[in-house]
Every structure is written in C-alpha cells, then in structure tokens.
Chains A and B, each alone.
Chain A
C-alpha cells in the first residue's frame, strides 16, 4: 500500500444544470426554443482526506450535498471539477477496480436481487467479488452474529421489512472485506434494537479490522456514539471538519449539573461560585456550569458541602444540539469568540 491518506478529496465540485420550465402551455411551447438554465452547486469546492481506520460522520441538512459526494467517491458520478483518490484510484475512472475495495450502502436502495432469497444474493455477491471460501464463511458468521441474519436468509428480498432489508444490505456491503465503507443513511427505518446492533457492529469492525467508515446520517446519536471526526457540509461547502469532541468544546461553554436534594432546600446559592447559575425549584435544581472558568467537580463539592444531596447527574452537551446551532447559523463557526 502507498503511504499517505487512504482517501484524498481535492477541490471537488459537482454542479447540476437545472432547466427551469415555465408554467402553463405557452411556457412549455416557448421552452422548446429557449430555456432559462441555472446552475446548482451541489458540491462546491471541497477538500479533505481520510486516514485508514478513521470513522467519520458526514452530516449536513437536506440537500447539503452529502449523497452527491458519496456518489463521486464511489465512482458512479463524475465531478464537474476537482479530483478524488480512493486507495490510489480515481473512482470514476477505475469504477470496477475501486468497487472491490469499497462497500456501499445507500439507505433507500438495495443492492440485493429483488426476487431472489437473501442467501442467493449473498451467493452472487460472493461470486462477483471473488470472496475466498474461508473468508466468506467467517464474515458471514460474524455478520449473522451482529445482525441476526439467519432467520432472513431464505426470504426473497421483496418480502423483507425495511429494517430487515437494511440489515441484509449492510451485510452485503461487508461480505468482501472492503477497506472503506460508505454508508449513506444506513440506519433509516431501523428500530431501536436493530440500530443498537448496527452501531455496535460498525464500531467493532472499525476497531478490530480497521475498516475506514464514512457515515452519513441525520441521527446525531449515531454520530455521537460512533464518529470521532465529523465533517459538516452546508450548501455544498465544508463548514466544519475536525474532532467531534472539539466541536462540542468550541460551542458548549456550559454543562448542566442536576441535583436532587433530600427535601426542598429553599433558596440555593453558591457564594464562592458566582458564575454558576441555578435554575428550578423544589427538590430538583439545575446548575449551569461555565466550563471555561469552573470545574464541574468544584460545583458538586460545593453543593454537597452545603446541602443534603440524594442524587447527581451531569448533562454533557450533545452533538445534535451543536449541529443544530450550526445549521441555524453556519457563520457562527467562523466568527471569533462570541461575547459573554
């Protein structure tokens, strides 16, 4: 293998030309001769790279350009400009070779054969990808374990429920030991238990096999649970690319400490810690701790020293809240520190 990153995306753009159809009959007629066209920059000059073994969340609002990017990375869409290298290959120039080293799930589609039992589909994939016998059985056993496939194998794909089909499609993407998995909304339609299984499966293969995974999802809990790195896309441009943790740290200046007391303590103040706000009433109060200046432990110690505490829980900020704020106001990322 060559050194350097496994995936390199360099000034990648994909524009779509939209022909605007005018309304009404005369609109259609004049449209035959002259058409107003406009250009949509679905992906607009993005660059990033992935190291082997990374688990990256690729997020953005509807229409941000996530699927368009994945299509180019998997070699099924040619960009308007820019280059991509996946394991040294330009995907759309070496589509077939590239497809051997990647696994792909497009959540709303299936790569299985509609009329065939799942088992037959897997069998075909094994032939297509020339998976060695032993490897195939090992992978299948592991997949069966994680995704509970056995009961589904004899069923034709068209008779599976959405969640069952999704599990089979995930398995299908992994049968040939891809170096990289591109997952475009692989958890839509999964119930909570299946989602949990999928998450732990992905986590496990990422850790034990060092499979690089790019995950597109609108479920921020997926990102929170899995992705150490997050790339946020807005209108075709990357607005954030970095560790999920530091994104949180950057945005979140407060943590919540919820304390349950034995009985109503009345007025609660922490004279030594004037920057800590106290909210709520009765036996349960919430302390908002500005993490830059005050440690959570200090607050807990101060509270416990003055009151009879029954229970304490700490509320870490969620990625979802942060990302929501970025969607609302992408410029906030580039603004210098906001005032207090």
Chain B
C-alpha cells in the first residue's frame, strides 16, 4: 500500500464525524472570524449605546419594565453573546434544491436532519472558540457586565441554551424545507428573519412590548431562543420560574422536531431533483 493511503485511521462514527468535519471546514476560511469578532463587538457597542441613550434622559424611559440602567446593559451584552453563540449557517437547502445539488446528499444513507444538526453544531462550536470567547473576554471589561457568580444561573443558562439552540435549528430547518414545495422561498426567509429579530429577544427584551402583545409573543417559539436563556442567566427572571419556561422550551423542541420530520417525509415525495 502506498504511503498516501496509509494515512487513514480507524473508522469513526458518522454524526460525530459530520460535527468534526464541519468544524474543520470552517478553518478553511480564516479571514472570516476576525470580521466576526469585530462585527460582534460593534453591534454590542451600538446596542449598549442605544440603551444608555434611552435611559439617560431626564425621564428615564424604562417602559414600565423592571430593567434598571445596569440591568438593561447587562441584558444587551449577554443577549448579544447568546445570539452570537447560536449563529447557524443557513443549511443551504433552498440553494441545493434549486441547483439539484440536493441529489448528492440524498444518495447517501444518512438521516438528513441529524446530519444537518451535526454540521450546524460543528460550525457553532467553531464560533464559540473563535467568536464567543474573545467577544466575551472583551465585553467583560469594555461594558462592565460581570456574569453572575451563582452556579445555578450558569446551569439554567446551559440547559435553556441547549433547548433554545434546538428550537432555532428546527425553525431554520422547517423554513428551509419549504423549498421542497416552493421554488421561491425568499419571502418565507424574510418573514422568519423579521419574526426572529423582533421576538427572540436579541435586540429588545419581551418586557418592552405592549401589554396586549406580550401574551401573544409568549405563544411563539421565538422568546425561547434568546430571551429565556439570557433572562434566566442574568437573574431578570427568578429561578423559580425556570422550570415552567424550560418546560415550554422542551415542548417547542419536541413539537418542531416532529414537524420537521413530517415535513421531510412529505417533502421528499414532492421534491423534484433538478438538472442532469
């Protein structure tokens, strides 16, 4: 056997391999992560400045919420960190359907959703190392937002982050799968982006929305993604409510997971593999 072939190690497990390869693939684009760190800090600066301005006026516009000036700055910093830590590359399904490239995934004996999740996870881990960690380090000093020291807050963050991440993943996946039915999915993506930006809590905490709207938002999956992990972490929501909020997250995770499965099953029969 030639030297080049001897390089192959023992066989590995499938989905962990997808995870690892996605991580590795990101390495190919080194320039990306400097830009990523810069962008993250820039946005953090913009939003904290905005809140400073809002709270600086003679009549502090707290919007009737429980947020103090320090509280809202802390929220802005950690919401931004949670948001960056969940960054998910577009799964690329619409583009793959359009080009017919999806065929090359479908000729492999893989669970497509699990594969996408593993790849997304690999990319996310990469972002943690290259973006979240440095931004967190800088933010600690630049924005004076020390994290809570109680391990309970960290535990709540850990658990609710995982479910928030899964909900976000399933939402992205479900919207991407619409490409199996509709040639043009841009408007759906726009809608998802809009709803996410408004209601996930990445920019404005849910508390600031009008009273009549808040219960409506609570019925959507979006607050579970960023608002719940962030608010639990910084202690804006008392730990006593953690159980029910995480329960809601679990319900969304299961529900959306099932929805994706059903959509995938139906979409496969609908899909027209283009080209060739």
Contact = CB atoms under 8 A, between A and B. Distances in A.
Interface of A: 16, 67-68, 70-71, 74-78, 92, 95-97, 99-100, 102, 104, 106, 108-111, 113, 115-116, 119-120, 122-133, 136-137, 140-141, 144, 149-151, 153-154, 156, 184
Contacts of B104: 106, 109-111
A17 B174 CA distance: 26
B8 A140 contact: yes
Given A95-B268, A113-B25, A119 B273 contact: no
B235 interface: no
A92 B269 contact: yes
A113 B21 contact: yes
A92 to B, nearest CB: 7
B21 A120 contact: yes
A60 to B, nearest CB: 13
Contacts of A75: 106-107
Nearest to A133: B11
Contacts of B5: 137, 140-141, 144, 150, 153
B12 interface: yes
A153 B7 contact: yes
Nearest to A141: B1
B11 A136 contact: yes
Nearest to A96: B109
Interface string B251-272: 0000000000000000011011
A154 B25 contact: no
A16 B14 CA distance: 36
A157 to B, nearest CB: 11
Nearest to B9: A123
B149 interface: no
A116 B122 CA distance: 14
Contacts of A150: 2, 4-5
B9 to A, nearest CB: 8
Contacts of B276: 67-68, 70-71, 106, 108-109, 184
Contacts of B102: 76
B275 interface: yes
Given A120-B21, A120-B24, A184-B276, A95 B8 contact: no
B1 A127 contact: no
B80 to A, nearest CB: 29
B17 interface: yes
A154 B111 CA distance: 28
B273 A128 contact: no
B170 interface: no
Contacts of B1: 137, 141
Interface string B95-122: 0000011111011111100000000000
B216 interface: no
A71 B18 contact: no
Contacts of A67: 275-276
B110 A95 contact: no
Interface in B167-205: none
A160 to B, nearest CB: 15
A311 B25 CA distance: 62
B24 A95 contact: no
A116 B273 contact: no
8 contacts: A16-B272, A71-B103, A95-B106, A111-B108, A119-B8, A136-B8, A141-B2, A141-B5
Given A113-B25, A116-B25, A128 B14 contact: yes
Residue of B8, B9, B14 with highest tally of chain A CB at under 10 A: B8
A109 B103 contact: yes
B2 A144 contact: yes
Contacts of B101: 109
B210 interface: no
Contacts of A132: 11
Q: Which 10 A-B pairs have the closest CB atoms?
A: A67-B276, A150-B4, A96-B109, A111-B104, A76-B106, A99-B109, A115-B25, A104-B107, A127-B14, A127-B17
B57 interface: no
A148 B17 CA distance: 26
Contacts of B8: 119, 122-123, 126, 136-137, 140
